[in-house]
Amino acid sequence: MKKNPLLLLICILLFVAWACEKDDSTSGKTVLNVRLTDGPGDYQQVNVDIQEVRLKMADDTSQWLSLATNAGIYNLLDFQNGVDTIIATGPVPLDVLKEVRLILGPENSVMVDSTLYDLETPSAEQSGLKIKIDKSLGLVLDSLTLDFDAEKSIVKTGNGKFILKPVIKVVD
């Protein structure tokens, strides 16, 4: 049985052409992971009820892009000293990321001296916590880490209530 080298070469070229075919479903997009971390603070717990992560891209002035969010209550103090967690992920356009919004639920709290207090979040349940960013997204898997400073973000009022005034910086 004689093998035909030309037939083998044609098969190899067809396989290479098929393997290099572009998948239009993801062209012009990258996958973005949004991570959460925190610096040390004087509280025993700082629980934030994250329900949704939304993005605003530079080329779109009206639409918000919602990522697949790992909704739930996060104790920010679990994410200190280099520890973080992915709170959302999903495909996003190759563009400049201008803003991130964290939409919070109603179950936000802070623990001080072993007592759990409600943590008021003015407008965070409706419009979200707004984080301004100017980050160009690349072709490879990209990541955005939000460093939520719990110590600076919580304000105790004169009547014993606690209010969340978020201090969040983006860490590349």
- The predicted-structure confidence for 23-82, as pLDDT tens digits, reads as follows 444 567 888 888 887 666 688 999 999 999 999 988 666 688 999 999 999 999 999 888
- The predicted-structure confidence for 148-160, as pLDDT tens digits, reads as follows 888 888 999 989 8
Q: Coil, helix or strand for 141? A: coil
DSSP 8-state class, residue 140: S
Q: What pLDDT is stored for residue 3 in this prediction?
A: 54
With beta carbons less than 8 A apart as the criterion, state whether 69 and 20 touch: no
